[in-house]
Amino acid sequence: MKKKELQGVKEIARRANVAIATVDRVIHNRTGVSAKTREKINKIIAELNYQPNLLARQLASGKIISIAVLIPSVTEETDFWEAPLQGIQQAEAEIRSYGININLFFFELNNPNSFITQANKILDSTVDGIVLAPSFVDEAQEFTTTCQQKGIPFVFIDADIPGQESLSYIGPPLFQSGYLAGKLSTYKLREASKLLVVNIATSLDSFTYKQIEEGFRTYFTDHKLKYPILRADIQQTDFASIAHYLQELFDANTDIDAVFVSNSRVFSVARFLNSRQSFQKPLLIGYDFVNENIRYLANGTIDFLICHQPKDQGYRSIMALYQHLVLLAPIAKEYYMPIDIVTQENQAFYRN
């Protein structure tokens, strides 16, 4: 400890009538201190506004803190995860000099086994904290349960699994996001309109999709709007399968006037709508400012994109673990990102 810092610890110990070592245990959140004594010391720390020089101590120790990141790889099908990766790399550049090492592990969005393989690689290594996207619910639950047993803190990014005791969830407010989509979808409705919610993903047993759709439907319930809301769950994510499913659905329901796609694959629906001849295009709403979506937003096929600043999600997820592991600072259990609405008119000025 530096002399000034040691003096601060001595004063806390004097006021609490405990040993310096006891104060040190409380500052570093170690065991071996009774709840009553811990509360007394923390109260004195707050009164003195004492802030230990933890960064200097981390550098002096020479200890390397290892953070693992488990997210989907960027593919031709969707480049959504390029933005969170950029945020992660930005955070890494800022904190690398403080002894933080970040290791990237990528899995395939259409292959839960690839998630398991990468998760096992992480568990076989020495890791102090984890950032992960829980795209496959069962597999992510098993992985994070093991992390809890090993005492490894983890942060969920972009999607959440309630009850898994994550250090933090950093991502969109799912229900409110769906609720907003419900409001946007009313702009083009007629008296006899139908609406369509489209979920396109290999794994649809997700808290994310359920919360988004619940928010969407709740908007209509709250406003006493009794339009029929159809639902399409498409687990074959190639365009041919999507187009075949949608063709049958639209042939049987010619009065669909609004379509809401619950993830970034809205471009596949836009491509399908563009392929139909002599067809009144429905209002189309989806998620995320990815390259294919931008193209269909620019030509008017997509009317609204709802975005949640994915680059900042990646940045904040790393910084949350850094603050927890190095600065010993409290972390918000949920950090909700803003809900942005991007249209053809403002898309040229939007940044993820």
Q: What is the per-residue DSSP string for 270-310? A: HHHHHH-SS--PPEEEEE---HHHHHHHHTTS--EEEE--H
pLDDT at 39 over 70: yes
Q: What is the pLDDT of residues 217-231, one digit of tens each?
A: 999 999 999 999 999
Q: Whole-prediction pTM value?
A: 0.81
Instruction: Identify the CATH number of the domain in which residue 14 sits.
Output: 1.10.260.40
On whether both 189 and 292 belong to a single domain, the answer is yes
Q: What is the pLDDT of residues 255-293, one digit of tens each?
A: 999 999 999 999 999 999 998 876 789 999 999 999 999
CA nearest to 272, candidates 296, 293, 242: 242
pLDDT at 1 over 50: no
Domain span including residue 141: 61-171+310-337
Instruction: Identify the CATH number of the domain in which residue 256 sits.
Output: 3.40.50.2300
**Domains identified in the chain, total number:** 3
Q: How far apart are CA 269 and CA 76, in angstroms?
A: 16
In a domain, residue 350? The reply is no
For tokens 């790393």, the residue is 318
Q: What is the pLDDT of residues 58-115, one digit of tens each?
A: 555 667 899 999 999 988 777 899 999 999 999 999 888 888 899 999 999 889 999 9
Asked if 15 and 7 count as a contact pair (C-beta separation under 8 A), the reply is no
Q: What is the mean pLDDT of residues 224-248?
A: 94
Question: What ranges in 154-234 are assigned the alpha helix state H?
Answer: 174-185, 207-222
Structure tokens at 154: 């983890």
Structure tokens at 339: 């809900």
In a domain, residue 348? The reply is no
In a domain, residue 343? The reply is no
Q: How far apart are CA 16 and CA 23, in angstroms?
A: 9
Q: How far apart are CA 327 and CA 244, in angstroms?
A: 53
351 burial (CB, 10 Å; 0-12 / 13-18 / 19+) is: exposed
